[in-house]
Amino acid sequence: MVVDDNETSLKILKELLVSFSFEVTTMLSGSEALTELELSTNTGSRPYDLIIIDMQMPHMDGIETSIKIKKI
């Protein structure tokens, strides 16, 4: 999963990771990422192996997002 509020950065990172054979989900905010992770956890889906998070996002930065992800 790649989390970034900048759509251009999301596109670039996704293309790079896909070129290395990763399956990539993109989210535009920390809250979107948390919702996705909670849903995947509740449905028993395979958790994400890697999450790349932008450090400087509005409303919820990368640190706050990471702390909340650890609590899921």
| Per-residue pLDDT tens digits for 29-52 | 999 999 999 988 877 777 788 999
pLDDT of residue 59: 93
Task: Tell me how far apart the alpha carbons of residues 31 and 12 are, in angstroms, rounded to a whole number.
Answer: 21
pLDDT of residue 41: 81
Would you call 12 helix, strand, or coil by DSSP?
helix
| Alpha-carbon separation of residue 64 from 45, 58, 68 (angstroms) | 24, 11, 6
The gap from C-alpha 18 to its chain's centroid, in whole angstroms, comes to 15
Give this prediction's pTM.
0.89
pLDDT of residue 44: 72
